[in-house]
Structure 1
Amino acid sequence: MTNELPNFQQYQLAFTARLRDARNQPVPTGVAPERMAVYDEIVFNNMLESVSACFPVARKTLGKATWLKLVQAFLKEHSANSPLFRKIPEEFLAFLQHTNLVLPPYLQALCHYEWIELYLSALPAPNHQDVDMYGDIAHQALIFTQAMQLLAYDYAVHKISPRQKPKVKEPSYLLVHRDVNDKIKFIELNPMTFKLITLLKSGEFTAEQALTMLADELKHPQPQIIMQFGLGVLLDLKNQGIILGTAPL
């Protein structure tokens, strides 16, 4: 099938195959090995630099040799859906979902956690019109900043390091947001607070309704304690700029 293609397309396929897998693919006919080596180095190093910059903890935790093999496999095997260079880290996440390489079970979650910082940093300036900054946070629908993400993982990804690699699952719940100074902040949540924010972000419940539901679910003997605790959490989120206010009446 390949031989039926025009010569220039055969050359393109041979050239890109070599760039993807310089260790196993031959130098295309008519190309000097020393010139091909320059392309090999430039393409791989650019890929390595882009991926490593986004996933520094994953890189250090896996170790240099394993990380190099992983990026080589990414370059060789993955078919990207975007030609944009800034999308490479996102393509790397897609690759991790489908690769057959034997990797630590926590790696995909760790990389997603690290990628979120890049994702939120690249979001356009949010449009936060039609927000009542002084509304009743207990009885009116809440408006959250658009520059935030709720994350739930099977591993405590925020604790992983080369010296602390998880051996068992430890569910973790996080809120990540970009503050008014464009800095990315991470907040660890307990399961109840995570569920409360999830309910409120849906826009279907007021804080009072959501907290009443949670108190009923927990069968708490003093629902007012849940109400006070939850409203205190929401006030703290408002002070941090994560809750902007309420929807106008």
Structure 2
Amino acid sequence: MAVDFKVKQAEFAAYIRDPLASPAPADVDPERMAVYRELFFNNIDGFLSSNFPVLRKICDDQQWQTLSQAFFKNHRCQTPYFSEIAEEFLTYLQQHDHGDIFPFLLELAHYEWVEMALAIAQAEPRYADAALIAGLPHQQLSLSPVAWPLVYRYPVQRIGPDYLPQQPPAEPTCLIVYRDQDYQVHFLLSSPVTYRLLQIIAEHGALNGAQSLQLLAAEFPQFDSVMLTEQGSKTLIDMAEKGIIVPAAKL
């Protein structure tokens, strides 16, 4: 009788994912299947450990095994590329609540994923030159595709074995993560006002610096508009020099 390859493949995969719930293929040596299973799992577990080093460090072995085994067992990856396993793990965490381990777990995982995601991003922005920086009030601006303004409930950049908050602080944490011209990824602690300025630039697409600051001042009437514009102008220069804001694309 001919072997149905698809059936055999499904049996093999089911056992690899969850040997407690699925029997090993009848015609394969159990010890060999156990070796296969260990190799598969350890490979995935190794990638997760290297891509999420802080999360791995703050989890005890049981907590980490719970996460990695559950991902290995339950998630159906949509990509064959090892470089995208971290994003698949993040997707799994977004779909399955593991807040009983740490309330900040999802935010920390996202924070750790961002660095690799930007490092391998294919976008190649046209960075600002001296002329753009000198004429920022009148130049049309865009947010770099490799600059991500982010807001977290928890101060994820501080989390580690010595700091494991159980409640979020009163104020959110604003970060700007960006890749520079040398392909180095940087994390910049920001303020809600600067975060909103970058949002305005991203949302409107082709505002110049002066227009962006006018909209910002209108949203923060509690601040002196002259002082806000002066500080905002300095912020725009700093953001352009870092490559966070870039010249708007010509249509």
Of stretches 201-210 and 67-76 in structure 1, the one that deviates more from structure 2 is 201-210
The structure-2 alpha-carbon separation of the partners of 1:186 and 1:132, relative to structure 1 and needing over 3 Å to count, comes to closer
> What is the rounded CA distance, in whole Å, between the counterparts of 1:175 and 1:206 in structure 2?
20
- State whether residues 133 and 244 of structure 1, in contact with CA within 8 Å, keep that contact through their aligned partners in structure 2: no
2:158 is matched by which residue type in structure 1?
A: K
Choose the corresponding residue for 2:90, options 90, 93, 104. 93
Paired position in structure 2 for 1:186: 187
- Give the one of 39, 42, 50 matched to 1:42: 39
TM superposition score normalised by structure 2: 0.88
Deviates more, 1:190-199 or 1:120-129: 120-129
> Which position in structure 2 is the counterpart of 1:215?
217
- CA offsets 1:181-216 (integer angstroms, 9 cap, x no match): 211100011000000011112325332223223323
CA displacement at 1:30 relative to structure 2: 1.1
- Structure 2, unpaired ranges of 5+: none
Quote the residue 1:106 is aligned against: 104
Deviates more, 1:40-49 or 1:28-37: 28-37
SS at match of 1:51: helix
Summarize deviations over 1:127-168 as a string: whole Å, max 9, x none: 528x66413211221144332111111111111112211222
Q: 2:114 is matched by which residue type in structure 1?
A: I
Q: Tell me how far apart the structure 1 counterparts of residues 94 and 21 of structure 2 sit (CA, whole Å).
A: 24
Q: Given the superposition, is the C-alpha separation of residues 116 and 242 from structure 1 closer, same or farther in structure 2, using an over 3 Å criterion?
A: same
CA distance, structure 2, for counterparts of residue 163 and residue 93 of structure 1: 24
Structure 1 match to 2:199 = 198
Q: Are residues 1:67 and 2:67 paired?
A: no
3-state SS, counterpart of residue 194 of structure 1: helix
Secondary structure of 2:175's aligned partner: strand
Residue 245 of structure 2 aligns to which amino acid in structure 1? Answer: I
CA distance in 2, matches of 1:152, 1:238: 21
Moved more, 64-73 or 79-88: 79-88
- 1:124 matches 2:125: no
Letter in 2 for 1:198: Q
Percent of aligned positions that are identical: 35
Which of the numbers 12, 19, 35 marks the counterpart of 2:16? 19
Partner of 2:53: 56
- Displacement of 1:125 in angstroms is 5.6
Aligned equivalent of 1:30: 27
Secondary structure of the residue aligned to 2:6 is helix
Identify the residue that residue 153 of structure 2 maps to in structure 1.
154
CA distance in 1, matches of 2:231, 2:92: 42
Out of 181-190 and 96-105, give the one that drifted further: 96-105
Select which of 126, 129, 134 maps to 2:131.
Answer: 134
Whether the 8 Å contact between 1:140 and 1:247 is mirrored in structure 2 is: no
Q: Secondary structure at the match of 2:136?
A: coil
Aligned residue pairs, count = 243
**Over residues 54-99 of structure 1, what are the superposed CA-to-partner deviations in whole Å (9 max), with x where a residue is unaligned?**
1111111222221112100101111122222222111111111122
Alpha-carbon distance in structure 2 between the residues aligned to 1:146 and 1:92? 23
Cα gap change, 1:23 to 1:163, in 2 (>3 Å): farther
Partner of 1:3: none
User: 1:239 pairs with 230, 238, 241, which one?
Assistant: 241
Between stretches 201-210 and 163-172, larger displacement belongs to 201-210
Contact 2:125–2:144 (CA<8 Å) still a contact in 1?
A: no
Distance 1:90 1:16 in 2: 22
- Asked if residue 225 in structure 1 is aligned to residue 215 in structure 2, the reply is no
Q: Which stretch of structure 1 is more off in the superposition, 227-236 or 118-127?
A: 118-127
